Amino acid sequence: MSDEPIIDLQSDHYFMGEALRQAARAYAAEEVPIGAVVVKGGRIIARAFNQVETLRDATAHAEMLALTQAEEAVGDWRLNDCTLYATKEPCPMCAGAIVHVRLARVVYGVGDPKAGAAGGALNLLQFPSFNHQCEITRGVREADCKSLLQSFFMEQREKRKAEAGGPHSENGNLNAYL
């Protein structure tokens, strides 16, 4: 019998659903809707969502907050038998933390070709000279994750237009009344 973890796509679907629930909490708080959960032995040990604006902390990404909670849950900074589920591909900062805590696996929903650090723009999670590399599973519930992000940014653009008196605004726009 092998010590290799068994990858169960049904579990991946379920745990990404839990990360999506966290992302929905971020959306409700007007944060970029990214959620994350950390799983150990088939059990969620940490849940988090982006709180950059709420905490006024550029490092308060869902992944970073979830990793901190997971460290507290296991009583160690090493998370080598854990899996992180994130709705969006981790950025370089989060990828650096993932390597440092030695996560076994990262599962994400939607990729980020411009700034993703798990194969999108670059791959820090499997960088050959680093002391640790982790397994990556991409595209789990990708459409759900992408849709949530797109809806959020579309809504934010509409709010900015309205605040600026744009074509969809009645504030200071005489054409809205004609």
- Active-site amino acid positions: 63
How far out from the chain centre does Cα 80 lie?
Answer: 19
Q: Name the residue type at position 107.
A: V
Q: Which of 133, 47, 66, 120 is nearest to 90 (CA)?
A: 120
Q: Using alpha carbons, list the distances in angstroms from residue 5 to 28, 157, 163.
A: 35, 43, 51
- Cβ burial, residue 131 (10 Å; 0-12/13-18/19+): exposed
Q: Could you give the maximum distance between any two Cα atoms of the chain, in Å?
A: 75
Beta-bridge mates of residue 137 = 107
Q: Which helix (H) or strand (E) holds 38?
A: strand 35-40
The token pair at 161 is 């237009």
